[in-house]
Amino acid sequence: MSNFDLDLIVIGGGGSGGFTAATTAMKTGAKVGMAEAGRLGGLCMLAGCMPSKTLLHSAAQIKAQGVNGMAAYPTVHQFTRAVVNHLAGGRVESVEAKQKQGLQLFRGAAHFVDPHTVEVDGQRVSAAKIVIATGSEEAVPPVPGLAESGYLDSDAFMKLPELPESLLVLGGGTQAVELAQVAARMGVKTTVVQRSAHLVSKIDPRFGHILAESLSEDGATVYTGTELREVRREDQTVTAVFTHQGKEVSVSAQALLLSLGRRPHTRSLNLKAAGVDTGIRGEVLVDRCMQTSQKHIFAAGDVTGWTMVVNLAVLQGRTAGYNATHETPREIDDRVLPTAIFTDPQFAQVGLSLEQAQAAGLDCLEADYDLGEMSTAKTYPERIRGYMSLRGEKGSGRIVGAEVVAPEASLMIHDMAVAIKMKATASDIASIPYIHPSLAEISEFTAGRLAKMLRA
């Protein structure tokens, strides 16, 4: 390693995956560097989950209190930026603390010169091992007129000091539906245009239909099953033209939010010079040890094209940082990875879907329970919508997967994550006397149904 400037350099280390990789490697005494072009903090902290959740919580309060959202938004905006600045400041302090311990910080965009050398703002740095953690960027489809018409991405939308009177949201994924609900609850005339047959197309259609109802009640208009034809700007408005149910539809708004998904941010890395293989979306291809096609180069976070959530990025970063500094590699342990969508109602899932379980060769059964059937749901003044699906393996009875749709599904999913981790059975969960009355009882009730099915 003495032939190189560093033992390890992390490209894009300001985010969760990269920073975890750097700090994990430093625990071994390795000489570590980190190259970061942007503000320290990463997508989640600066322009993703943290500001969007701040906006969602504020919008929920505004709706509950009957406050004029448009008038209140400047205050909400100030609060949101304060949250982001506080969190980003914490990351800066953490990096500075690591610098005192030997971390070298290179400011600027890095690209490969050869498999062991990167260039950062004109400075060349060599390293025995490298971790790529450059995150993701908004995917921009080749829609006629889109680039010329102008649009907001999620970052730009969440930085607006004032909201537009009307908003056209292109996309129906996690980011799109969360920000659409924020806008609608703030009083913005909001229209969502989704290509697939239901919102959040990669998960259970039941949630997509429930969410469409909820957004409609918030005042939004939702189009699903569309084909986008063109986007054009007309004076102070942007118009999207698309087909819906066999007819051509035009919708105009003061602003357009582009949220059709994200793609790994690799275009400027010159990965060809490093000999690193990529996939069809530009993602860095890695194995279970987070190694690329070059065994001394690793990757972590959104850039891998795996599920783009922070808890996975941290696991990937920890695995990459460890394997970059140890002779015997470890495989990532992401068998239990709860994820959530923070709309109202929320969606959360963990483990395997029924289709995934079958593909893995598991003989499983699935039980459902409607949230509306619970007596606890009747105690809420507003309508409570949702359900739980729980999957268990025949023979062993162990729980292999679950999903919850409920007002606090992101909190309720963790007992199922623990159950899967500990290889608990449906009968184990059904035997726990959950607090009554609470929506969390749905875990006990669903597990009871599943246990009976598995015994039959």
CATH number for the domain that contains residue 433 = 3.30.390.30
Q: Are 245 and 273 found together in one domain? A: no
Residue 123 identity? Q
Closest CA to 295 of 88, 112, 49, 131: 131
Q: What is the pLDDT of residues 62-101, one digit of tens each?
A: 999 999 999 999 999 999 999 999 999 999 999 999 999 9
Q: Are 191 and 298 found together in one domain? A: no
Residues in the chain: 456
Q: Are 193 and 309 found together in one domain? A: no
Q: What is the pLDDT of residues 313-341, one digit of tens each?
A: 999 999 999 999 999 999 999 989 999 99
Domain boundary among 284, 299, 323: 323
Domain boundary among 234, 260, 286: 260
Closest CA to 267 of 109, 107, 34: 109
The answer as to whether 152 is a domain residue is yes
Q: Are 153 and 250 found together in one domain? A: yes
The answer as to whether 202 is a domain residue is yes
Which pLDDT score, from 0 to 100, does residue 1 have?
Answer: 44
Domain boundary among 275, 297, 323: 323
The answer as to whether 425 is a domain residue is yes
Q: Are 277 and 255 found together in one domain? A: no
CB pairs under 8 A, 24+ apart, for 425-429?
A: 425/392, 425/396, 425/397, 425/398, 425/399, 425/451, 426/367, 426/390, 426/392, 426/397, 426/399, 426/450, 426/451, 426/454, 427/397, 427/451, 429/399
Q: Are 244 and 279 found together in one domain? A: no
Which pLDDT score, from 0 to 100, does residue 382 have?
Answer: 87
Q: Which residue bears the tokens 């033992």?
A: 7
Q: Are 233 and 252 found together in one domain? A: yes
Q: Are 268 and 252 found together in one domain? A: no
Q: How far is CA 285 from CA 7, 275, 338, in A?
A: 22, 12, 23
Which pLDDT score, from 0 to 100, does residue 17 have?
Answer: 96
Q: Are 15 and 131 found together in one domain? A: yes
Q: What is the CATH number of the domain that holds 74?
A: 3.50.50.60
The answer as to whether 250 is a domain residue is yes
How many domains, in total, are found in the chain? Answer: 3
Which pLDDT score, from 0 to 100, does residue 335 have?
Answer: 87
The answer as to whether 19 is a domain residue is yes
- Burial class of residue 308 (count of CB atoms within 10 Å of its CB; 0-12, 13-18, 19+): buried
Helix (H, G, I), strand (E, B) or coil at 135: coil
Q: Are 272 and 134 found together in one domain? A: yes
- Burial class of residue 232 (count of CB atoms within 10 Å of its CB; 0-12, 13-18, 19+): middle
Q: Are 285 and 218 found together in one domain? A: no
Residues of the chain with pLDDT under 70: 1-2
Instruction: Tell me the C-alpha distance between 203 and 444, whole Å.
Output: 23
Count CA atoms closer than 13 A to 341's CA, side-chain side: 29
Q: Are 352 and 437 found together in one domain? A: yes
Closest CA to 188 of 219, 217, 149: 219
The answer as to whether 166 is a domain residue is yes
The answer as to whether 330 is a domain residue is no
Domain of 176, in residue numbers: 146-260
Instruction: Tell me the C-alpha distance between 21 and 324, whole Å.
Output: 9
The answer as to whether 332 is a domain residue is no
Instruction: Tell me the C-alpha distance between 414 and 410, whole Å.
Output: 8
